[in-house]
Structure 1
């Protein structure tokens, strides 16, 4: 087995509090740099989401118990849509704590009452690491979509700069990106450095939602 998969991503994800901070920072940066026209990354009500508008998505949920991540890659060999009964890939949620089980039935994650995902990760407060299905086996050469989570790993500043260059075709001020990633106040000066055409006042609703 080579490449990126959920167990490899799980070994590199930061603790819950740091992950939440990164999710919020990326959403703010995306909203500013993209001008708020359409946000690929969002963070609201304790939910972080990525939607590439091409059938690929992930969500990071922060319930009371900890954090739960659901990924769906529409091209994955592990997609439930390849099964007539929409069954999840064997072992995908094996060992998932009871505290997270209700999320498997959430409307955002289901179709016809079936949980739709190609990768699942979780961590409870007090855990010393992130988890994936205990009996999960990923076929050689298969993708599970967890590479979409790489922007949440260490090096978020440079990862976002690279994303902005590829996705928006723009070179953004690295120092301004780092300022937001580090959780410092997002001033009008920082906003102008990221996108001179963006109105800083438009951030009020975004900040309130997160």
Structure 2
């Protein structure tokens, strides 16, 4: 009989829990994908969402949850061989938020880190990547509009033993989304 991968079990629970939050009216799911990358032989599940009624707004903060597993993890599990130290998946959370004013960017970055540290307790490693769209023949510097991709990386694998933690992870993600949306709204006003 076919035995689902750790990745499949976690993906089903994660996806179901996010859809539960959508059905409750807290968030709106705006995209999802379940990919098998044939070039590097890894699996990735991605689901993105915004706060409810913000999905059409360009000022919306978007949350993305990425679940990945590698060829080594899949092979170790299927062959029942210790090919990796720990069989499991990794999860990263990304937030994409607009930053309309380029002034005092370092302070805004510190404020975002503080907001997330207050929610997550300094647990995930946080990186921020600023992006600016520069159109051909319309070079404007400094740019008026920036996008900040904030990444929360836990630097560890999870497995079925962590399934009960997924609901807390989603709760923290929605709480972070709410606070980051308030921060972005304040920044844009």
Superposition TM-score, scaled by structure 1 size:
0.25
Indicate the structure (1 or 2) with the bigger Cα radius of gyration. 2
Superposition TM-score, scaled by structure 2 size:
0.26
Higher relative contact order (CA 8 A, sep 6+): 1
